[in-house]
Structure 1
Amino acid sequence: MSQSDPTNSECVDYLERIVYLLDNELDEAECSEVRVHLEECGPCLHKYDLERTVKAVVARSCSESAPDGLRDRVLMQVRQVQVRITES
């Protein structure tokens, strides 16, 4: 089942399911099916690796806290917008 073109209809289906695989939203049978495809299809495996890397970078970035000064300025801006909306 080796694929050289990740745009064919079979690969499109697997590429859509990669996101669910990364989020642990597939049952074990579907996980196995996607993993088998990834072992046999280099372009899909490359896309999977890219998606996994992006997800890891975003997760790592989201764990950092904003500096207090920035946080205070953003909260002030949000409150100003809320006041303008309620006055309208």
Structure 2
Amino acid sequence: MSCDGPDCEKALENLYVFLDQEIDGASCDEIQAHLDDCSDCLNEYHLEQIVKALVGRSCTEIAPEPLREKVRLQIRTVQVEITDLR
């Protein structure tokens, strides 16, 4: 992915909470504005939407909250590792 500015970094760091609508309104508006202007981040957003939809169709059980939080933490950790490699 060719986007690497601070706005891209912030948008991608918050992509999952944005997708899940678990982010405050001001941050949501900021990320949406960035996605409207950045085709690379928008492509990443669409990819994550597809993955989320596929997982949603495949999984009918809801994971316990401690497990969900552990998975979120792991995803964020991997995102940070990937960002550090860039």
Is this a same-fold pair by TM over 0.5?
yes
Q: Could you say which residue in structure 1 is the equivalent of 2:79?
A: none
Larger Cα-atom Rg: 1
Mapping 1:27-38, distance limit 5 Å:
27-38=24-35
How high is the TM-score relative to the length of structure 2?
A: 0.64
Q: Does 1:6 align with 2:12?
A: no
Q: CA deviation at 1:8?
A: 2.8
Q: CA deviation at 1:43?
A: 0.2
Mapping 1:8-47, distance limit 5 Å:
8-47=5-44
1:36-81 CA-partner distances (Å, limit 9, x unpaired):
00000000000000001100100100028xxxxxxxxxxxxxxxxx
Q: Could you say which residue in structure 2 is the equivalent of 1:56?
A: 53
Aligned residues between the structures: 61
SS in 2 for 1:38: helix
How high is the TM-score relative to the length of structure 1?
A: 0.62
Give distance in 2, aligned partners of 1:45 and 1:60: 23
* Runs ≥4 residues deviating over 3 A: none
Structure 2 gap segments, 5+ residues each: 62-86
RMSD: 1.8
Give distance in 1, aligned partners of 2:44 and 2:31: 13
Q: CA deviation at 1:10?
A: 2.6
